Amino acid sequence: MRTASCERKTKETEISVTVNLDGTGTYDVHTGIGFLDHMIEQLSRHSLMDITLRAKGDLHIDGHHTTEDCGIVIGTAIKKALGDMKGITRYASAYIPMDETLTRAAIDISGRPFIVWKVDFSRDKIGEMDTELFEEFFRAFAFAAGVTLHVENLYGVNNHHIIESSFKAVARALRVATEVDPRKADAVPSTKGTLGGSL
């Protein structure tokens, strides 16, 4: 089983996470931000990746540090769980409809972090969470995991649907991209023989 744990302790947050890439979508998430819990649960359920996460953050200030650092620890743990990346499918994309909303996510587990975020909101908050923090979460996740991630909301009206379809689309793309391709289970999916930067 491809599993990994990660901890992050700063003056702003204290977070621990364990992930199992070959799980069943079981989750146990407590961040102190209800809507963020709900979204990370969606990430787990629809990627079939088990996630156990505990976070204590400076929520008396706002949710920024907690949200960003949750993205960092989840991304770091996934990168550790992937190991040498032999056999992974690497590329994947998903379209997720949610009532009037349609969102697309595409991922490349490349070792070269990058994010394109084309998701707009008509409200400043969903629940108690600032909508601008969703981009911060996914940027932190992509850079910690070492993945190229594109997320685009193609259309939608309801802000809850827009962000939930974004998390579900990323989850479904992540599920496929991390799966082992039985035809090339012993090889890194790159003509370079390695995934990562230019060195």
Residue 140: CATH number of its domain: 3.30.230.40
Q: Confirm if 92 and 125 have CB atoms less than 8 A apart.
A: no
Total of domains in the chain: 1
Confidence label for 181 from pLDDT (cuts 50, 70 and 90): confident
In a domain, 95, yes or no: yes
Q: Give the model confidence (pLDDT) of 16-53 as tens digits.
A: 999 999 999 999 999 999 999 999 999 999 999 999 99
Tokens 């850079």: give the residue: 143
pLDDT tens across 84-119, in order?
Answer: 888 899 999 999 999 999 999 999 999 999 999 999
Q: Pick from 137, 97, 95, 132: which is nearest to 115 by CA?
A: 137
Domain with 146, as residue range(s), is: 3-184
State which amino acid sits at residue 103: T
Helix axes 133-145, 34-47, angle to 10 degrees: 40
Distance, in Å, from the CA atom of 117 to the CA atom of 133, rounded to the nearest integer, reads: 12
